[in-house]
Structure 1
Amino acid sequence: MGIDETPVRMLFENQDVHGARKLILPLEDAFYAARPDVTLREATDACLGEGYPSFAGLVGLIMDHPGCFHPYRKSIEYGYLSFPIGNPKANAVVVPGGGYEMIASANEGLDFVRPLQEAGYSVYIAGYGIKDDACFPKPVIQVAECLREAGRLPTLLLGFSAGGHLSATICRKDMTEAFDYPRPQALILGYPVISFSLPTHEPSKRWFTGGRGDLFDFLSAEGHVDPDYPPTYLWRAESDDVVPPINSDAFDRALSQRGVRHLYRVYPGDGHGWGMGEGTSAEGWLDEALSFLRQK
């Protein structure tokens, strides 16, 4: 019996899998209690629709690394995963997307663990509050805790879609001062939500701001870039029906205006959630990003 065909209650016997359950699927405990024999595949289909990519690989990785889940101190229902290597040259913290409604921890989390480890990084996958738990500043406080743990070495932060918005926000100087965590030394943003003042991904805007109009400008990342902002690799598809491309364009302009070293790539094609980019025109982007960010 494979992991996808295993009842979730049996998978939850593993302490790390149970702790990371909201990093896997955005389901309440009552869902599982009412369906004691539901399999991982059935739960995924019920939550995200039939055909959604499997989380079996992520669950397997967690089970193979005892003690990898670390709950946040002030919100233990969320946490981060750690996959260290011996003698790392740096740490990489990956912040998956999901519109602040779920966490795309497979293609925007799991898929990056091995490539980043092979490049010399200890890897962390940062969870954060979703839906009603996504209202600012809670997700910033949560990922800040992960960064403090990873901050013993230089840290590369990678964020995708809504996780890109959270990552761009976390790199703001005023946020590091307000919430006391080390500013990342480098940043990768894939097809990110950036602005709540321009056309954007409306669910991300609603969940992160709580619908408060007075926060739209304050939580728009393009208005808060300073000259010491981390070097950034920014990329998106040419056409994106989920996050309007104007978001990345605005951030590219902001980085240019502040003199921040960065590289902006627009890859041919239509799409969102490309992750590592396998099978798309963006395939190989991670190698280019790491090479660019290693340059002084």
Structure 2
Amino acid sequence: MLDMERIGDDNIRYSEFTENTRAGEVISDPAFRGFGRLLFPMDLSISERMTLKELSSSSIYLWYSDIRTEKTVEILNYMKQEVQKGHQIFYPIYTDREMQQEPSRKNTGLFYFRGEPGKPFGIMNAGGGFYYVGAMHDSFPHALEISRLGYHGFALIYRTREPYDDLARAICFLHDHAAEFQMDPNHYSLWGGSAGARMAAVLGNRDYLRQLTDRSDIQQAAAVIMQYTGYSSASYSEVPTYACVGTRDGIADWRVMKHRLGILDEIGIPTEFHVYKGLRHGFGLGVGTIAEGWIYDAVEFWKQQLS
């Protein structure tokens, strides 16, 4: 059983983070005790003296564009407020014994963005080229946005060498604890950008889901939501898929994504595809760009599959 009781610490005084807050202050903040280090990419050498403004840069989040300081600050303040309210925001996906057996599992877990009782959940998988996990730009914002629409959002922090195993474990964890979270376990969605989109597509595939979870009781995802990836495999075991990408993406060719969805269409699997003129790789939510609002289209696509 999960401990879903109030965990707020009345001694944690809420003070807002700003663009001038240093990374070390965030990591060591009492609200994030035990998991603060996982808020920023574990696989990159980040100085704790860097400010949130300095961190919100493509020079840190490699291969990403349109990184916004105000979104970083908003997300961290949201998380701290949730803890102040007494809500648990981080959940390990491995047991203590499993983490002792394999210490790298301590660097995994799910950040929770609370939805409404009875609603399904989405698991967000950030990209980073399987070199690092760019959650602050590529999964935290998405999870927060769907939570504001009533859905439960989970952002997975995974090991770059074991990404598929960690996502499989996260799916099992949320399936097994859906009642404690008061959410629908059977109509979930898998989201991802870049490398994270590959993860979502692989675990969205019915055959890979069975193979990687070693479970036959877990239902296949209702939908996969993919951004900017060159993943091209397609079969009858896929689920309804929404995809978006920019025309100036030098990493994931929009034609490859469109071709894959065309194959899925031909075999009768619902799809929706959007290509945005002039956008580069890693535009995230696309705030202030031609892609702004795409996430609401994606949620509508997911909702259509629920019926």
Settle same-fold status: TM greater than 0.5: yes
Question: Do 2:121 and 2:153's aligned partners in 1 also have CA atoms closer than 8 Å?
Answer: yes
Summarize the Cα distance change of 1:80–1:246 in structure 2 as closer, same or farther, 3 Å threshold.
Answer: same
Equivalent positions of 1:60-99 (< 5 A) are 60-66=77-83, 67-73=88-94, 74=98, 75-99=105-129
Corresponding residue for residue 279 of structure 1: 288
Aligned mates of 1:36, 1:95 — CA distance in 2: 24
SS at match of 1:63: helix
How far has the Cα of 1:40 moved from its partner? 4.9
- Find the partner of 2:139 among 105, 109, 112: 109
1:138 has 2:165 as partner: yes
Question: Do 1:267 and 1:282's aligned partners in 2 also have CA atoms closer than 8 Å?
Answer: yes
Equivalent positions of 1:86-235 (< 5 A) are 86-130=116-160, 134-135=161-162, 137-148=164-175, 149=177, 152-178=185-211, 179=213, 180=215, 181-195=218-232, 222-223=233-234, 225-226=235-236, 229-235=238-244
CA-atom RMSD in angstroms: 3.0
Summarize the Cα distance change of 1:20–1:186 in structure 2 as closer, same or farther, 3 Å threshold.
Answer: farther
Aligned mates of 1:289, 1:36 — CA distance in 2: 36
Aligned mates of 1:292, 1:47 — CA distance in 2: 32
Structure 1 residues not aligned, in runs of 5+: 196-221
1:59 has 2:96 as partner: no
Aligned mates of 2:163, 2:147 — CA distance in 1: 31
Aligned mates of 1:44, 1:18 — CA distance in 2: 23
Question: Do 1:25 and 1:47's aligned partners in 2 also have CA atoms closer than 8 Å?
Answer: no
Summarize the Cα distance change of 1:17–1:248 in structure 2 as closer, same or farther, 3 Å threshold.
Answer: farther
Aligned mates of 2:292, 2:55 — CA distance in 1: 30
Summarize the Cα distance change of 1:123–1:14 in structure 2 as closer, same or farther, 3 Å threshold.
Answer: same
Summarize the Cα distance change of 1:261–1:47 in structure 2 as closer, same or farther, 3 Å threshold.
Answer: closer
TM superposition score normalised by structure 1: 0.74
Mean alpha-carbon deviation: is it higher for 101-110 or for 4-13?
4-13
- Identity over the aligned pairs, expressed in percent? 20
Corresponding residue for residue 101 of structure 2: none
Summarize the Cα distance change of 1:242–1:256 in structure 2 as closer, same or farther, 3 Å threshold.
Answer: same
TM superposition score normalised by structure 2: 0.72
Aligned mates of 2:202, 2:39 — CA distance in 1: 21
Aligned mates of 1:20, 1:154 — CA distance in 2: 31
Summarize the Cα distance change of 1:186–1:39 in structure 2 as closer, same or farther, 3 Å threshold.
Answer: same
Corresponding residue for residue 13 of structure 2: none
Question: Do 1:276 and 1:286's aligned partners in 2 also have CA atoms closer than 8 Å?
Answer: yes
How far has the Cα of 1:164 moved from its partner? 0.5
Count of matched residue pairs: 260
1:21 has 2:37 as partner: yes
How far has the Cα of 1:90 moved from its partner? 1.8
Residue identity opposite 2:223 in structure 1 = A
Summarize the Cα distance change of 1:37–1:89 in structure 2 as closer, same or farther, 3 Å threshold.
Answer: closer
Aligned mates of 1:141, 1:97 — CA distance in 2: 17
Mean alpha-carbon deviation: is it higher for 273-282 or for 142-151?
142-151
Question: Do 2:92 and 2:109's aligned partners in 1 also have CA atoms closer than 8 Å?
Answer: yes
